Amino acid sequence: MKHTESRRRYDFKAIEEKWQERWETFGLFQAPDVPRPDAKFYMLVMFAYPSGDIHMGHFRNYIIGDAVARQQMMLGKDVLHPFGWDAFGLPAERAAIQRGIHPREWTQGNIEVSRKTLKRAGISFDWSREVNSCLPDYYKWTQWMFLRLFEKGLAFRKRGFVNWCPEDKTVLANEQVKEGRCERCETVIEKRDQVQWYFRITDYADRLLEGLDRLPGWPDNLKTMQREWIGRSQGVEVDFIVEETGEKLPIFTTRPDTIYGVTFMALSPEAEIVDRLNLESPYREQVSEYRKKAFARSEIERTAGGDKDGVFTGKYAVNPFNNERIPLWVADYVLGGYGTGAVMAVPGHDSRDFAFARKYGLPIRIVIHPDAATALDPDDMDDAFTALGVMVRSGPFDGKIGEDGIEAVCSWAEEKGLGRRRVNYKLKDWLISRQRYWGAPIPIIHCPKCGPVAVPDADLPVLLPDVENFMPAGRSPLEDVPEFMDVSCPACGVAARRDADTMDTFVCSSWYFLRYCDAHNMDAPYDTAKADAWMPIDLYIGGITHATGHLLYFRFFTKFLHDIDRLACDEPDLRMFNHGMVLDAKGEVMSKSKGNVVSPTDLMDERGVDVARLAMFFTAPSEKEVLWSEEGTTGVEKFVMNKFLPLIRSLRGARPDLTRTFVPEDLTPEERAAYVRLNQTVKKAGESFAALHFNTAIAAVMELVRDYEPSKIENDVLNDQIILKTVQLLAPLAPHLAEEMWEQAGFTESVFKSAWPVHDTRAVVGDRIAVPIQVNGKLRDTVEVASSASQVEIEEAALASPRVRQHTDNREIVKKIYIPGRLLNIVVKG
Ligand code: ANZ
Ligand code: ZN
């Protein structure tokens, strides 16, 4: 009962509406066209699939970005904090099909609902820059991007085995296949041989790798995932020779030092050379049977541990190093899309080859010994010896060790024309065409005379026609729309057909962050000067699920646009933050498909936006998962009602002086303690915000407020500072309440125009002080020492700091200048 009463004490609805209206009227979140140099902050959150109203997971993601954006405003930055809709693509289309309405209608409806909820939550988005990827004024430029890539040969068509989702009836990029299943509907993927459009992201593989080394603000696990996905591996291609036909059969190996240990070769079922081996009965039938079976298996099944199988072809090839006859097998542990799709099998030194050889009774030959003193016997082994070692039974290479052996074999292969050094990547070119309706049409016209011809820029956008039937049918529904399909060739004028496919939505999301910089440009995707002024992104918040998809693609686009002089930076984002998931009370990830979503709207209706926000922030640091339960809100709500809001009544109405600092002599011992406490809290909150650990900022402020006793503080300025700085520190987290209190305190401008509190470094931390340490006049670190510490002790503490030592080690210290309690400057020579 008491609870309900206390809740009535503040009319959150009225306060929220009042401030949201004012923010809008004053354009508080409207970013300038071009920010002041050195004072910009680009705060980006991943834009949303409009697949329904937003749920707790989105809510959490967006309030984190909001807190950062608002704090950056208080830090004096010009902030760009935009939002938009990733409106094309499978999820929207699938949901629309389930409900039997047009994807456009369904998408638009969801956008309206979600936008309202986000506004309701008080997120400081600059709505004047809202983008929507399914509108022609946006996808016109997605098509423009395609054409620029096409001009440079980076958008191209090729035939090959592609991932096919039988449920969605479309091809998928490698990045959209998770453990052999469609990422969206979890159907097992099939392989189909088809002509599709690709972006040549592999041309950028090395730069995408190298760039990671220049991204200290990216989490290590994310960088590792990208490195492994790109999967650079250095080796050599050696040409084996097919015995009967003399055809070259190149293999890729990272272990050329084992080449004298080859006892069979394994070809992937996809390898075209199998068709040219002139197989004889019964091998022909067996191989054909086996290949059919293999095509039906997913890549994950083929490469997982466990039984490896294959079939003998009845044919042989020759090892060019020793002219040995090597039997040719087809085995599906060899993948069609990697290296040359053929492997020289060395059972003695490769585990998969070892298992295969044991199964089919093929010889195992040891050609590497762990060291000169230890010999291996295949009969005693139950797995291959895979480490580097000493080459044996390897002709002229006997005795070569490890990397030297590898180098020697590579050089020999190149000198004798038997092969060439090669770098391979796991990364594949990005398959971007989709046989689906709901996407940006590919701006290409197929002419019987000229081949694929680009739609001229002046004819963009190629509008997506309204169709009755958008059901996926294994080919693009656009093929059945003659008004769309039948055109004349832009180059020669003869009757031609449009490309019927649409682009993967990940193409739309590869450049949206640039459109935000100049969202209404009618003549270009964005103005380069404006984009250069805002880019790179200072902080990007989104899910780790995009690690090897979107987060690679947007780096690729950035590098490409940099290369064609459309962008100065070549990495889009300085700092990446992957927020934790929101789980339901049972520990399951909240998601629409699981039907366990909790709506933030209900919570906001019941307890107010700011309590909802504070409760979410308070549960966990931003990178951690959150087990959401509404009970957690009660404690925060009590704090707001009983402690935070009433603070304003203790203001003394002294002329607010927030920058005034105090020296101990100004204050009574009790005040001194309170002053220290205040500054500790300010410092702690600043650090917590930097780490996006808003839970600890809230905890620190709660303690400050709990221990605040107005009766012990005579100094009016100090008293008011404690209250007003508390309001400021919580402002980015509970913005409506903070504004209201700030106004009640007599300020006429928004609290977000006030300066974020800075702590007084001289203020004691308990009985400790923080002393800034300079080397040659440059600030290198701050050390904490007892306030009574002597100069010698402070010097010792300074020289123990690794950040200071970086600048003093191996240099002569010529003098130390100490201003008691304020500063130590170490002067070095050399
Ligand atoms: C002979 C050999 C001997 C190998 C040995 C390894 C150890 P990464 O590092 O992933 O690039 N390989 C080559 N193409 C393949 C394909 N299409 N499908 C499956 N396996 C393939 O691995 C390169 C190694 O994987 C190559 O080196 C090859 O086996 C195999 F003691 O060649 B190795
Ligand atoms: Zn033509």
List, for residues 300-313, the tens digit of each pLDDT value.
Answer: 778 777 788 999 99
Average of per-residue pLDDT across 544-561: 96
Ligand 1 mutation target, pool 228, 230, 255, most atoms within 8 A of CB? 255
pLDDT at 356 over 90: yes
Closest CA to 293 of 278, 309, 280, 281: 309
Nearest CA to ligand 1 atom 31: 349
| Ligand 1 pocket check for 677: Cβ under 6 Å | no
| Ligand 1 pocket check for 339: Cβ under 6 Å | yes
| Ligand 1 pocket check for 781: Cβ under 6 Å | no
For residue 451, the ligand closest to its alpha carbon is 2
Separation of CA 551 and ligand 1 centre (Å): 28
* Spatial distance between the Cα atoms of 530 and 729, rounded to a whole number of angstroms: 32
| Ligand 1 pocket check for 263: Cβ under 6 Å | no
For residue 352, the ligand closest to its alpha carbon is 1
| Ligand 1 pocket check for 425: Cβ under 6 Å | no
| Ligand 1 pocket check for 234: Cβ under 6 Å | no
For residue 259, the ligand closest to its alpha carbon is 1
| Ligand 1 pocket check for 427: Cβ under 6 Å | no
Closest CA to 687 of 782, 797, 752: 782
**What is the atom index within ligand 1 of the atom nearest the CA of 348?**
31
Average of per-residue pLDDT across 63-73: 98
Separation of CA 235 and ligand 1 centre (Å): 9
pLDDT for 589: 79
How does DSSP classify residue 405? H
pLDDT for 590: 77
Nearest CA to ligand 1 atom 26: 253
| Ligand 1 pocket check for 303: Cβ under 6 Å | no
Cβ contact 62:160 at 8 Å = no
**What is the atom index within ligand 1 of the atom nearest the CA of 333?**
19
Q: Are strands 495-498 and 486-488 parallel, antiparallel or unpaired?
A: antiparallel
* Spatial distance between the Cα atoms of 377 and 36, rounded to a whole number of angstroms: 72
Q: What is the pLDDT of residues 476-507, one digit of tens each?
A: 899 999 999 999 999 999 999 999 999 999 99
* Spatial distance between the Cα atoms of 456 and 301, rounded to a whole number of angstroms: 45
Average of per-residue pLDDT across 183-204: 89
Nearest CA to ligand 1 atom 5: 350
For residue 495, the ligand closest to its alpha carbon is 2
Separation of CA 346 and ligand 1 centre (Å): 10
For residue 262, the ligand closest to its alpha carbon is 1
Nearest CA to ligand 1 atom 19: 334
pLDDT for 3: 47
Query: According to the per-residue pLDDT averaged within each range, which of 68-77, 169-178, 364-373, 789-798 is highest?
Result: 68-77
| Ligand 1 pocket check for 341: Cβ under 6 Å | yes
Cβ contact 278:245 at 8 Å = yes
Separation of CA 162 and ligand 1 centre (Å): 22
Average of per-residue pLDDT across 89-111: 85
Closest CA to 276 of 244, 251, 239: 244
pLDDT for 626: 86
| Ligand 1 pocket check for 338: Cβ under 6 Å | yes
* Spatial distance between the Cα atoms of 393 and 399, rounded to a whole number of angstroms: 9
pLDDT at 599 over 90: no
| Ligand 1 pocket check for 346: Cβ under 6 Å | yes
Q: Are strands 181-182 and 177-178 parallel, antiparallel or unpaired?
A: antiparallel
The amino acid that residue 606 corresponds to is E
| Ligand 1 pocket check for 349: Cβ under 6 Å | yes
Separation of CA 487 and ligand 2 centre (Å): 11
pLDDT at 235 over 50: yes
**What is the atom index within ligand 1 of the atom nearest the CA of 268?**
17
The amino acid that residue 830 corresponds to is G
pTM of the model: 0.85
The region, left, alpha or beta by phi > 0 then psi within -120 to 50, assigned to residue 153 is left
Assign 266 a pLDDT band (cuts: 50, 70, 90): very high
Q: What is the pLDDT of residues 750-789, one digit of tens each?
A: 999 999 999 998 875 556 677 889 999 998 988 877 766 7
Query: According to the per-residue pLDDT averaged within each range, which of 344-353, 661-670, 796-805 is highest?
Result: 344-353
pLDDT for 669: 79
To 5 degrees, how large is the angle CA 516–CA 156–CA 511?
10
pLDDT for 17: 97
Q: What is the pLDDT of residues 148-163, one digit of tens each?
A: 999 999 999 999 788 8
3-state secondary structure 787-801: CCCCHHHHHHHHHCC
| Ligand 1 pocket check for 269: Cβ under 6 Å | no
Ligand 1 mutation target, pool 233, 257, 343, most atoms within 8 A of CB? 343
For residue 493, the ligand closest to its alpha carbon is 2
Nearest CA to ligand 1 atom 2: 255
Separation of CA 524 and ligand 2 centre (Å): 27
Nearest CA to ligand 1 atom 10: 233
User: Which residues are CB-neighbours of 350 under 8 A, at least 6 positions away?
Assistant: 255, 258, 384, 386
For residue 448, the ligand closest to its alpha carbon is 2
Residue with tokens 């339901």: 584
Assign 168 a pLDDT band (cuts: 50, 70, 90): confident
* Residue 385 buriedness (CB in 10 A; 0-12 / 13-18 / 19+): buried
Could you tell me the sign of the dihedral formed by the alpha carbons of 149, 151, 153, 157, in that order? Answer: positive
Ligand 1 mutation target, pool 238, 252, 299, 376, most atoms within 8 A of CB? 252
pLDDT for 765: 53
The amino acid that residue 599 corresponds to is S
| Ligand 1 pocket check for 233: Cβ under 6 Å | yes
| Ligand 1 pocket check for 319: Cβ under 6 Å | no
Separation of CA 345 and ligand 1 centre (Å): 8
pLDDT at 95 over 80: no
For residue 368, the ligand closest to its alpha carbon is 1
pLDDT for 97: 80
| Ligand 1 pocket check for 424: Cβ under 6 Å | yes
Give bridge partners of residue 195 from the DSSP assignment: 159
For residue 496, the ligand closest to its alpha carbon is 2
pLDDT at 713 over 50: yes
User: Which residues are CB-neighbours of 817 under 8 A, at least 6 positions away?
Assistant: 823, 824, 825, 827
Comparing 247 with 593, which gets the higher pLDDT? 247
300-328: b (≥16 Cβ within 10 Å) or e: eebeeeeebebbbbbbbbbbbbeeeebbb
Percent of the chain with pLDDT over 70: 97
Query: According to the per-residue pLDDT averaged within each range, which of 629-633, 672-676, 678-682 is highest?
Result: 678-682
Residue with tokens 């402002």: 731
Nearest CA to ligand 1 atom 22: 254
pLDDT at 2 over 70: no
Average of per-residue pLDDT across 207-233: 96
CB-hemisphere CA count at 13 Å for 42? Answer: 26
Nearest CA to ligand 1 atom 12: 343
Give bridge partners of residue 374 from the DSSP assignment: 371
**What is the atom index within ligand 1 of the atom nearest the CA of 337?**
17
pLDDT for 638: 94
Separation of CA 254 and ligand 1 centre (Å): 6
* Spatial distance between the Cα atoms of 471 and 456, rounded to a whole number of angstroms: 30
| Ligand 1 pocket check for 252: Cβ under 6 Å | yes
Query: How many residues does the structure list for the chain?
Result: 830
Assign 133 a pLDDT band (cuts: 50, 70, 90): very high
What mean pLDDT is reported for the chain? 92
| Ligand 1 pocket check for 350: Cβ under 6 Å | yes
